[in-house]
């Protein structure tokens, strides 16, 4: 689906917009909203922590960049997106302020635990992902929809380097099921750009790279700023 300015801001590493002090006091949940979830927490396994540390070292020379991740879009970004792309009749700001990013709407450790790193030179995203107990499909394994979700997120992050984009196609081959609570590595690569079309490929592998769990291609379309979505 859509990759918004919010995500682009995140990709660029900008801190979320903050309201002035008085407004901040009015919204007690503001701090929680702006918490960066792409950082270690007690639910992270040893494997996930080791991979995180390894890539944080790669970030030191600037060749890789860790991408922060939030539960909600900063209100400034929300308004910008609504103004540019959404029909005014659909603006339900009060209700939407309660909405949460799908992948960050779980309790710590029970859903999507992940961190993404971006290499601008390679046009590549690496995502380390640990899928928790509330992402179950059949007993003991991740749901196919949860795998599709983390692929959409990772491929989408790779595509937004090209502009504000929308997922047009996801084609996913499931090769080997992923055990719940294990850590896998997603590799997402920009293949080509043709006009407004952005082509991305993505694989999901075991940490030792011996098992390919899933392979996918994705097509994203750059949004036309003069056209509304609905």
Tell me which residues are annotated as active site.
Answer: 152
Element (H, E) at 54: helix 46-58
Return d(Cα 157, Cα 7) in angstroms, integer: 7
Q: Which of 14, 29, 63, 100 binds a copy of itself (CB under 8 A)?
A: 100
The answer to whether 95 contacts a copy of itself (rule: CB under 8 A) is yes
Nearer to a copy of itself, 64 or 188 (CB): 188
Residues 5-34: x/- map of binding to a copy of itself (CB under 8 A)?
A: -xx---------------------------
Q: Which of 33, 56, 86, 207 binds a copy of itself (CB under 8 A)?
A: 86
CB 129 to a copy of itself: min, Å: 12
Q: Which of 172, 189, 197, 199 binds a copy of itself (CB under 8 A)?
A: 172
The answer to whether 138 contacts a copy of itself (rule: CB under 8 A) is yes
Return d(Cα 44, Cα 216) in angstroms, integer: 26
Task: Say which DSSP state 225 is in.
Answer: T
Nearer to a copy of itself, 11 or 64 (CB): 11
Q: Which of 69, 127, 156, 190 binds a copy of itself (CB under 8 A)?
A: 156
Per-residue buried b or exposed e for 71-90, using 16+ beta carbons within 10 Å of the residue's own CB: bbbbbebbebbbebbeeeee
Which stretch in 39-47, 53-61, 93-101, 117-125 sits in contact with a copy of itself by CB under 8 A? 93-101
Candidates 117, 93, 101; CA nearest to 33 is 101
Task: Say which DSSP state 69 is in.
Answer: -
Q: Binding-site residue total for a copy of itself (CB under 8 A)?
A: 65
Nearer to a copy of itself, 18 or 25 (CB): 18
Which 3 state secondary structure label does DSSP give 113? strand
Return d(Cα 118, Cα 163) in angstroms, integer: 15
The answer to whether 141 contacts a copy of itself (rule: CB under 8 A) is yes
Q: Give just the sign of the alpha carbon dihedral 44, 47, 51, 56.
A: positive
Cα 119 to Cα 10, 100, 127, 197: the distances in Å are 14, 27, 12, 21
The answer to whether 204 contacts a copy of itself (rule: CB under 8 A) is no
The answer to whether 82 contacts a copy of itself (rule: CB under 8 A) is yes
Nearer to a copy of itself, 63 or 211 (CB): 211
Cα 187 to Cα 105, 137, 184, 207: the distances in Å are 23, 23, 10, 11
The answer to whether 171 contacts a copy of itself (rule: CB under 8 A) is yes
Which stretch in 43-51, 141-149, 185-193, 198-206 sits in contact with a copy of itself by CB under 8 A? 141-149
């Amino acid at each position: 689906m859509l990759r918004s300015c919010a995500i682009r801001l995140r990709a660029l590493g900008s801190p979320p917009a903050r309201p002035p002090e008085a407004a901040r006091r009015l919204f007690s949940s503001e701090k929680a909203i702006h918490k960066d979830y792409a950082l270690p927490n007690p639910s992270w396994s040893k494997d996930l922590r080791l991979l995180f540390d390894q890539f944080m070292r790669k970030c030191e020379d600037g060749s890789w960049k860790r991408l922060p991740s939030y539960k909600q879009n900063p209100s400034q970004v929300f308004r910008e997106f609504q103004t540019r792309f959404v029909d005014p009749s659909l603006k339900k700001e009060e209700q939407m302020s309660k909405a949460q990013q799908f992948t960050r709407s779980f309790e710590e450790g029970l859903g999507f635990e992940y961190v993404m790193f971006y290499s601008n030179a390679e046009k590549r995203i690496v995502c380390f992902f640990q899928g928790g107990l509330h992402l179950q499909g059949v007993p003991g394994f991740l749901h196919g929809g949860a795998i599709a979700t983390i692929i959409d997120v990772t491929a989408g992050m790779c595509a937004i380097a090209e502009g504000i984009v929308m997922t047009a196609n996801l084609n996913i081959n499931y090769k080997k099921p992923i055990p719940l609570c294990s850590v896998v590595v997603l590799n997402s690569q920009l293949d080509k750009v043709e006009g407004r079309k952005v082509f991305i490929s993505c694989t999901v592998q075991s940490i030792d790279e011996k098992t390919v769990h899933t392979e996918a291609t994705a097509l994203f379309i750059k949004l036309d700023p003069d056209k509304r979505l609905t």
